[in-house]
Amino acid sequence: MKKVTLIPGDGIGPEICNAVTQIIEAAGLKIDWDIQTAGADVVQTEGTPLPQRVIDSIRQNKVALKAPVTTPIGKGFRSVNVALRKELDLYANIRPCKNIKGIKTPFDNVDIVVVRENTEDLYAGIERQIDNDTAESIKIITRKASTRIVKYAFEYALKYGRKKIHAVTKANICKLSDGLFLECARTVAQEYPQIDFKEILVDNLCMQLVQNPSQFDILVLPNLYGDIVSDLTAGLIGGLGIAQGANIGSDYAVFEPVHGSAPDIKGQNKANPTALLICAVNMLKHIGENLIAQKIEQALYSVIEEGKILTADLGGSATTQEYTKEVIKHL
Ligand code: NAI
């Protein structure tokens, strides 16, 4: 039996994890889930939101499925999500956004992959209070991390037959930091003449994305822009409830949706488990369970296309559990 680390997270995390594990089991696959809690509740009992046992579990199993973990806003402990990515050197955050049949959106030809650098930039968490009225955050951009994420984007393009990559920066203003990212992108692009390489400033990108998203194929971005832009692209295809993601490094892979812990709908049996389910499907493909992954994909997409049993974020009135049962019925 395959062993996979499962981080149920908090907020809606445990509800959507429960839905996803039920669907995988109903599809006929038994996984030995190594359940690892993390986050605010764990601080009370273990003194840290990210105990070493969580890292050790992923190191041992090499793969994890992760639901969202809340990060206190403006105070409190550092993000568990950011710490995990850094600790395991999960340098590439891949967030594909493609229209799903049955979900009506203003555009029907969106197929964009956001490739976000996942280990540095303002997420390095180097901040200080200079005085009562002044705070400082340091943005770190290195040649090593920039080159490797851009290479990842180009290799991804070759692997999946994609044609165009936009490097996204604000190098007109952040001349040194984003300037370095762009310089690395230009250098790497020369090794891949078969892929169309373009440059765009992040503000212009945002405007173009909401007017004409089909012109974009792969976007490669430093951490912060990647985080923000991937929520925008999620909105283009129907929202956070369906937006998948994966954190990939040389040794480990942690599959997790774009969305957060959605405290506004926590415990209400309302959350859409689709994003986490698509992450789970990708995780199953990653561990070689292609047939089960395809079976789940087919069931999921036919439920969405039929459009009868959908969660509230997609305009339906089904609960998380009703939706889960419907997917299981379609397996
Ligand atoms: P959020 O993504 O949790 O929620 C934004 C909006 O989308 C809310 O209205 C929420 O109800 C809705 N939404 C999100 N996921 C949904 C789903 N599966 N089904 C239906 N509706 C869904 O973003 P927010 O509110 O900014 O962040 C809440 C917490 O999550 C924060 O503590 C933040 O730090 C954390 N977070 C954690 C992430 C992670 O664990 N990887 C990623 C993003 C945020």
Distance of alpha carbon 199 from alpha carbon 119, whole angstroms:
22
Instruction: Report the alpha-carbon distance of residue 196 to residue 215 in Å, rounded.
Output: 12
The model's pLDDT over 271-283, given as tens digits with 9 standing for 90+, comes to 999 999 999 999 9
pLDDT at 166: 98
Domain ranges, ordered by start, for the chain: 1-85+242-331, 106-237
Percent of the chain with pLDDT strictly greater than 70: 100
Q: Please tell me the predicted confidence (pLDDT) of residue 286.
A: 97
Residues 103-138 have pLDDT tens digits of 999 999 999 999 999 999 999 889 999 999 999 999
Mean local confidence (pLDDT), 302-311: 98
- Distance between CA 207 and CA 228 in Å, rounded? 13
CATH level 2 (architecture), domain 106-237? 3-Layer(aba) Sandwich (3.40)
Q: What is the CB < 6 Å shell around ligand 1?
A: 12, 68-71, 81, 240-241, 256, 259-265, 271-272, 275, 313
Does the pLDDT value for residue 40 go beyond 90? no
121-124: list long-range contacts, CB under 8 Å, 24+ apart. 121/222, 121/223, 121/224, 122/223, 122/224, 123/79, 123/82, 123/223, 123/224, 123/227
- The pLDDT score that the predictor gives to residue 125 is 87
| Distance from Cα 265 to the centre of ligand 1, integer Å | 10
How confident is the prediction for the chain on average, in pLDDT? 97
Separation CA 209–CA 190 (nearest Å): 26
Confidence of residue 32 (pLDDT cuts 50, 70, 90): very high
Q: Bigger pLDDT: 77 or 112?
A: 112
Tell me how far the alpha carbon of residue 141 is from its chain's centroid.
21
Ligand 1 atom nearest to 79, measured from its CA:
34
Q: What is the mean pLDDT of residues 175-196?
A: 98
Q: Distance between CA atoms of 95 and 42, rounded to whole angstroms?
A: 28
Between the CA of 183 and the centroid of ligand 1 the distance, in Å, is: 34
Sorted by sequence, the CB contacts under 8 Å of residue 175 that are 6+ apart come out as none
Domain 1-85+242-331 identical in fold to domain 106-237? yes
Cα gap 16→89, rounded to integer Å: 26
Q: Ligand 1 centroid vs 260 CA: distance in angstroms?
A: 3
SS in 3 state form for 197-217?
EEEEEHHHHHHHHHHCHHHCC
CATH architecture of 1-85+242-331: 3-Layer(aba) Sandwich (3.40)
pLDDT of 41 above 90:
no
Residue of 50, 228, 259 with the most ligand 1 atoms within 8 Å of its CB, for mutation: 259
Question: Looking at the predicted structure, is the pLDDT value of residue 9 above 90?
Answer: yes
pTM of the predicted structure, to 2 decimals = 0.96
Residue to mutate, 228, 261, 272, ligand 1, most ligand atoms under 8 Å from C-beta: 261
**Would you state the pLDDT for residue 83?**
93
What percentage of the chain's residues is helix, strand, coil (to nearest 5)? 45, 20, 35
Each residue's pLDDT tens digit, 240-278: 999 999 999 999 999 999 999 999 999 999 999 999 999
Cα gap 296→278, rounded to integer Å = 9
